[in-house]
Amino acid sequence: MKRFFIIVALTFFYSGFSQDCNNIFLGELIDFHDKTPIIGATIYIKTLDKYTTSDIDGKFKIENLCNGSLTLIISHVGCETKTLTYEINGDIYKLIDLEHHIEELNEVSIKTQGNKKETLTAQETIINSEALKKYSSLSLGDALKEVPGVSSINTGNTIVKPMVNGMHSSRLLIVNNNVRLQDQEWGIEHAPSIDINSANQISVIKGSGALQYGGDAIGGVIVINPVRVILKDTLYGKTAINGQTNGRGYNITSSLNKTFQSGWFANVQGTVKQNGDFEAPDYVLTNTGINSQGFTINGGKKTFESGFEVFYSYLNNEIGILRSAHIGNIRDLVDAINSQEPFIVEDFSYDINSPKQEITHHLAKALYYKRFKNFGKLNLQYDYQNNQRFEFDVRVGEDRDTPALDLNLQTHTIMADVVLDANLKRKVTFGFMGRYQNNFANPDTGVRRLIPDYDKYDFGVYGTTEWVINDDLTLDAGLRYDFNRIDAKKFYQISRWNERGYNADFADIIIDDLGTQLLTNPVFDYHNISASVGVMHNLNDDSYLLANYGLSSRPPNPSELFSDGLHHSAARIELGDLRLNQEISNRISLTYNLSKSKFNLNIDAFYNRINDFMYLRPSGIEQTIRGAFPVWEFTQTNAAFFGMDLSTSYAFTNNFQWSNLSAFIKAKDTKESQAIIDIPAFNTNNTITFTKPEWNNFSASLKSEWVFEQNEFPDFNFETFIASTNETILVDISTPPPAYHLLHFYSEATFPISKKVALNVGLSINNLLDTNYRTYLNRLRYFADDLGRNIMLQLQLNY
Amino acid sequence: MKTLKISFLTLLASLFIVSCSSDDDNPDPVNEEEVITTLRLTLTPQGGGANVVMLSQDLDGDGPNPPVVTNADLTAGVTYNGTVQVLNELETPAENITLEVAQEDDEHQFFYEFTGSANSSFAYADTDGNGDPVGITITLTAGTASTGNTLTVTLIHEPIKDAAGVSNGDITNAGGETDVEVTFTYNVN
């Protein structure tokens, strides 16, 4: 107000002398988001070809102006350059907004594709596009293993599910361009529907620290981001062609990005991939090929103050499953375990026959945001996902080409959030999420539904805050509430209904009695509270500590509630339980990070205590006309996970670097005093890298991957009577395979072709020594060895 | 900007329309196909006499109820002509899956395995297009008088018929996957 009076007074004072070329322009530069003055900005007065700068109050004065138009170009470090034109007719005062915190605040960038963390105090690791390009022909799950503590649970080598600190499937949230992936992630043999080539940056957040994405991330959150929009008139893109010897596969991926300084942008990206049968060192893995096509398009206008984006992605995967892994009963499983080689080994082929999966995933989203002066930012988003999954079993007669599983999952989500960042030291975010999901299980399969038809309603609200106490201390905290309702229509065989005891507990949900089966309408509501608090403390210039506590709550997924039937590849009957309630996780984590010029060290340690942890455990044996099958049922216990992930690197010289990634985890069922199943064993990766920037950015590295034998596992072995030989034998499904050691080689160089075009050539050899091995976390380990040597050549053109 | 707002409202509206349009229609029960509920082995004495029928019936499939097995006794020294039938009795009338097996006989084979002191044995009485046995019809020799013998009948889908011993009825190297596996207990009188 005071300032205003001065200006008014000044205006009055000078107005009397106002002549043609005696006008004064008084400007004041302030920061858009928090109203602080912008000091030392360069103001180029185009019409006069003169420069001036703003003073300590953000003000500047231009004197002796003639009537007419005045063009100013205002620039400042870290700000977007602004061009303004005024009509001068007498003295004038203008308040000009610039934004000084674009990089901190926004999704647009005025510089480059900087890495942007999602969280402050959580254990977060970023994989950038440079590291991702190696995985162009592989999958998301393969790429994430760049992060210590991240492994994968596989079905063969093409269905790769990421695993963070021993947790996977519903315990991990996968977020693609701010959309939480809804792709029937509950199943171990359901790989995430993501084309790795559409990702520009991936953040792996261990634990539930990123509350804005959901409160049920007991294991962690994986955030996949496409390229950021740069406010520059530019057109760029890249095309990569890969060929590999194992599977005789190729893939081509290409992307083109157009951006304008005005904020308009458009990106397209597409990938085609084909692989035939992969090979273990000693034999062909018949029917393990994959065909994949995907593309993404997005466009919109993003500026600092407002913007919108529309995004669409499509992915179609046809994935063959090892033919020998399709078995009929326990005797087949015993035969497979005892046989050193798979029963069916045929010559190499690109054909994909049953058993196989065909998955199509569509994702469409629309986003709008607006920033308000001295307040913050409002985001609105709607997204729609359609996930269609077909699974083809080996069947006979007319049903040969009918899928045994045909599920269609549709999800609509609306989200709104407000980020109050006028004071960057006291940032607050509020958000709301509403989601409707419908699952349709097509009855034309002729096979009883594995997952029933259901409607699901989710509603969430959250608030998070970040407090910068001083240069060395930052706190963050968050609280979230989620409501989930699942409303299913499920058929139960009456024999199963009674055997589960549902006739006593759930008689009221029966809506129809069909003689041998019942139609029921289970409706369950879950209320979930999740919270997180954390601190980041800079010890000195080279090191910092992070500490975080997270509370998260995950309701049972449809598979845990409703599974009901024979799982062919596992030769077991899997049963859900309507009585399950949420599992609650309390996770404490501590990180120490040291970054010296030659030496880097990061230690992530955690303890995760999960009450009512849901898992599958064997409960008995049932006889059917196919033979005897073990029954595995979902049950709840208390579990404790703890572990440490280590990442170290040391530069011996400018050219030689050594790095190590190691992860150690222990997981106990504290009620039963036994180990938890499917926990990765200690593993350590050492890499020696030679780099020579003078030689066209040449680098070569040799990596040693050493995975120990898992000695801690629950003994779920069982005995079965083989009538034909009149003997009882032990079926060893629990003992993990022995330790293994693999060597991998990677080398690359970049050759400039013209001023703007560069060719990057990468050669990698996985499993250099063609070692035979099986991994504990591969569900097909009973049937065949893992992959043999694979030589991959990648040509990537950046333009 | 205005069009943007409108498009957003449209999107929101469509969301509600979709969520409300989920009708209350109940899902159709699945008409289970290619399920085998029943295996019936009919043995006809070559010298004449009453048929012997062994039957295993599992009407709830993968459900908790075990199959109901009807055993029958054989007569010492008699050779029987055997015919096996697999049925889906969840359909009315029952679907005879043996017909499908016969149609795709090169991809199927029945195996008959004996234990006990009767020393019963069998021989295949049919072949597929490649001259390999199928096992829908067999001859079965009862052997000597004894009690507590077992016969396990297994139907394998996609066996490796040219693997060692498979054409003689040895299941060891057959591979493939088991569609049916039932065990009968019998005495030889």
- % pLDDT > 90, chain A: 65
- Pairing of β B38-45 and β A306-320: unpaired
Structure tokens at A26: 């008084």
Q: Is the minimum CB–CB distance between A396 and chain B shorter than 8 Å?
A: yes
User: Cα-flanking dihedrals φ and ψ of residue A708, to 5°?
Assistant: -80, 170
Inter-chain residue contact A443 with B31, CB threshold 8 Å: yes
Q: Is the minimum CB–CB distance between B171 and chain A shorter than 8 Å?
A: yes
Please report the pLDDT score of residue A112 as a whole number.
46
Chain A residues whose beta carbon lies within 8 Å of the beta carbon of residue B176: 328, 332, 343
pLDDT exceeds cutoff 80 at A787? yes
- Tell me the pLDDT band of A35, cut-offs 50, 70 and 90: confident
Inter-chain residue contact B32 with A441, CB threshold 8 Å: no
**A751-780 residues touching B, CB cutoff 8 A:** none
Q: b/e string for A469-486 if b means 16 or more Cβ within 10 A?
A: eeeeebbbbbbbbbebeb
Of A58-62, A340-344, B4-8, the least confident? B4-8
Nearest to B104 among A396, A446, A489 (CB): A396
Please report the pLDDT score of residue A303 as a whole number.
86
Q: Is the minimum CB–CB distance between A513 and chain B shorter than 8 Å?
A: no
Inter-chain residue contact A493 with B90, CB threshold 8 Å: no
Q: b/e string for A24-34 if b means 16 or more Cβ within 10 A?
A: bbbbbbbbbbb
Q: Is the minimum CB–CB distance between A570 and chain B shorter than 8 Å?
A: no
Inter-chain residue contact A625 with B63, CB threshold 8 Å: no
Cα(A586)–Cα(A506) distance, integer angstroms: 32
What is the distance in angstroms between the Cα of B118 and the nearest Cα belonging to chain A? Answer: 14
Q: Is the minimum CB–CB distance between A68 and chain B shorter than 8 Å?
A: no
Chain A residues whose beta carbon lies within 8 Å of the beta carbon of residue B181: 328-329, 331, 625-627
- Tell me the pLDDT band of A375, cut-offs 50, 70 and 90: confident
In this structure, are residues A421 and B22 in contact, taking their beta carbons and an 8 Å threshold?
A: no
Inter-chain residue contact A724 with B152, CB threshold 8 Å: yes
Domain that holds residue A301: 141-151+207-798
How many domains are contained in chain A?
Answer: 3
Q: Domain check: are A229 and A96 in the same one?
A: no
**B61-80 residues touching A, CB cutoff 8 A:** 61-67
Beta bridge partners of A267: A257, A298
Please report the pLDDT score of residue B21 as a whole number.
44
Beta-carbon contacts of residue A418 (< 8 Å; ≥ 6 apart): A376, A377, A378, A379, A429, A430, A431
Query: Over the stretch B66-107, which tens digit does the pLDDT of each residue have?
Result: 999 999 999 999 999 999 999 998 888 888 999 989 998 999
- Name which of A343, A380, A624, A632 to mutate to probe chain B: the one with the most chain B Cβ atoms within 10 A of its Cβ: A624
Inter-chain residue contact A724 with B113, CB threshold 8 Å: yes
Chain A residues whose beta carbon lies within 8 Å of the beta carbon of residue B90: 516
Measured between alpha carbons, how far is residue A16 from residues A70, B76, B79 in Å? 22, 134, 131
Nearest to A194, CA basis, from A226, A217, A164, A166: A226
What is the distance in angstroms between the Cα of A286 and the nearest Cα belonging to chain B? Answer: 14
Residue of A nearest to B56 (CA): A625
Inter-chain residue contact B4 with A308, CB threshold 8 Å: yes
Please report the pLDDT score of residue A18 as a whole number.
44
pLDDT exceeds cutoff 80 at A715? yes
Q: Domain check: are A234 and A326 in the same one?
A: yes
Region A328-332: mean pLDDT is: 83
Average pLDDT, chain B: 86
Query: Over the stretch A41-77, which tens digit does the pLDDT of each residue have?
Result: 888 888 888 888 888 888 998 888 888 888 888 888 7
Which position has the higher pLDDT, B41 or A114? B41
Structure tokens at A597: 């010029």
Measured between alpha carbons, how far is residue A111 from residues A81, A235, A264, A284, A787 in Å? 12, 15, 16, 49, 42
Residue of A nearest to B69 (CA): A625
Q: Is the minimum CB–CB distance between A432 and chain B shorter than 8 Å?
A: no
- Tell me the pLDDT band of A588, cut-offs 50, 70 and 90: very high
Nearest to A554, CA basis, from A581, A575, A525: A581
Beta bridge partners of A593: A544, A602
Nearest to A331 among B22, B65, B178 (CB): B178
Please report the pLDDT score of residue A439 as a whole number.
96
- Tell me the pLDDT band of A339, cut-offs 50, 70 and 90: confident
Region A239-243: mean pLDDT is: 95
User: Cα-flanking dihedrals φ and ψ of residue A165, to 5°?
Assistant: 50, 45
> Apex CA A342: angle with CA A570 and CA A337, to 5°?
50
**A308-337 residues touching B, CB cutoff 8 A:** 308, 324, 326-329, 331-332, 335
Q: Domain check: are A487 and A582 in the same one?
A: yes
- Tell me the pLDDT band of A110, cut-offs 50, 70 and 90: low
Nearest to B29 among A499, A514, A566 (CB): A514
- Name which of A625, A725, A728 to mutate to probe chain B: the one with the most chain B Cβ atoms within 10 A of its Cβ: A625
Please report the pLDDT score of residue A216 as a whole number.
93
Chain B residues whose beta carbon lies within 8 Å of the beta carbon of residue A573: 62
Q: Domain check: are A315 and A388 in the same one?
A: yes
Measured between alpha carbons, how far is residue A588 from residues A32, A357, A533, A670 in Å? 38, 39, 10, 18
Please report the pLDDT score of residue A756 as a whole number.
87
Inter-chain residue contact A446 with B33, CB threshold 8 Å: yes
In this structure, are residues A106 and A304 in contact, taking their beta carbons and an 8 Å threshold?
A: yes
Residue in the block written with tokens 């005093």: A673
Nearest to B34 among A344, A446, A496 (CB): A446
Task: Classify residue A753 by its DSSP letter.
Answer: -
Which position has the higher pLDDT, A105 or A584? A584
Chain B residues whose beta carbon lies within 8 Å of the beta carbon of residue A499: 63-64
Query: Over the stretch B24-37, which tens digit does the pLDDT of each residue have?
Result: 578 988 877 778 99
Structure tokens at A303: 């500026």
- Tell me the pLDDT band of B14, cut-offs 50, 70 and 90: low
Cα(A220)–Cα(A170) distance, integer angstroms: 10
The H or E element that residue A143 is part of is helix A140-143
Nearest to A173, CA basis, from A210, A119, A123: A210
Q: Domain check: are A228 and A164 in the same one?
A: no
- Tell me the pLDDT band of B9, cut-offs 50, 70 and 90: low
User: Cα-flanking dihedrals φ and ψ of residue A566, to 5°?
Assistant: -85, 130
Nearest to B12 among A382, A449, A453 (CB): A382
Q: Domain check: are A656 and A678 in the same one?
A: yes
Please report the pLDDT score of residue A178 as a whole number.
93
Inter-chain residue contact A624 with B171, CB threshold 8 Å: no
Please report the pLDDT score of residue A190 as a whole number.
92
Inter-chain residue contact A496 with B63, CB threshold 8 Å: yes
- Name which of A287, A367, A384, A626 to mutate to probe chain B: the one with the most chain B Cβ atoms within 10 A of its Cβ: A626
- Name which of B22, B26, B62 to mutate to probe chain A: the one with the most chain A Cβ atoms within 10 A of its Cβ: B62
Please report the pLDDT score of residue A107 as a whole number.
56
Region B167-178: mean pLDDT is: 87
- Tell me the pLDDT band of B1, cut-offs 50, 70 and 90: very low
- Name which of B11, B117, B122 to mutate to probe chain A: the one with the most chain A Cβ atoms within 10 A of its Cβ: B11
pLDDT exceeds cutoff 90 at A180? yes
Q: Domain check: are A146 and A220 in the same one?
A: yes
Query: Over the stretch A741-767, which tens digit does the pLDDT of each residue have?
Result: 999 999 999 999 998 899 999 999 999
Q: Domain check: are A618 and A505 in the same one?
A: yes
Cα(A533)–Cα(A514) distance, integer angstroms: 52
Q: Domain check: are A183 and A223 in the same one?
A: no
In this structure, are residues A457 and A484 in contact, taking their beta carbons and an 8 Å threshold?
A: yes
Q: Is the minimum CB–CB distance between A299 and chain B shorter than 8 Å?
A: no
Residue of A nearest to B182 (CA): A625
Please report the pLDDT score of residue A3 as a whole number.
52
Q: Is the minimum CB–CB distance between B156 and chain A shorter than 8 Å?
A: yes
- Name which of A396, A432, A726 to mutate to probe chain B: the one with the most chain B Cβ atoms within 10 A of its Cβ: A396
Region A639-665: mean pLDDT is: 95
Please report the pLDDT score of residue B19 as a whole number.
47
Cβ neighbours around A42 below 10 Å, total: 15
Inter-chain residue contact A623 with B183, CB threshold 8 Å: no
| CATH for A39 | 2.60.40.10
Q: Is the minimum CB–CB distance between A394 and chain B shorter than 8 Å?
A: yes
**B106-125 residues touching A, CB cutoff 8 A:** 107-108, 113, 115
Cα(A271)–Cα(A136) distance, integer angstroms: 9
Region A177-183: mean pLDDT is: 94
In this structure, are residues A589 and A535 in contact, taking their beta carbons and an 8 Å threshold?
A: no
Please report the pLDDT score of residue B5 as a whole number.
55
Residue in the block written with tokens 């300590």: A56
Cβ neighbours around A668 below 10 Å, total: 18
Chain A residues whose beta carbon lies within 8 Å of the beta carbon of residue B183: 723-724
Inter-chain residue contact B34 with A395, CB threshold 8 Å: yes
Region A410-419: mean pLDDT is: 96
pLDDT exceeds cutoff 70 at A706? yes
Torsion angle of the four alpha carbons A147, A150, A154, A159, in this order, in degrees rounded to the nearest 10: -50
Inter-chain residue contact B171 with A724, CB threshold 8 Å: yes
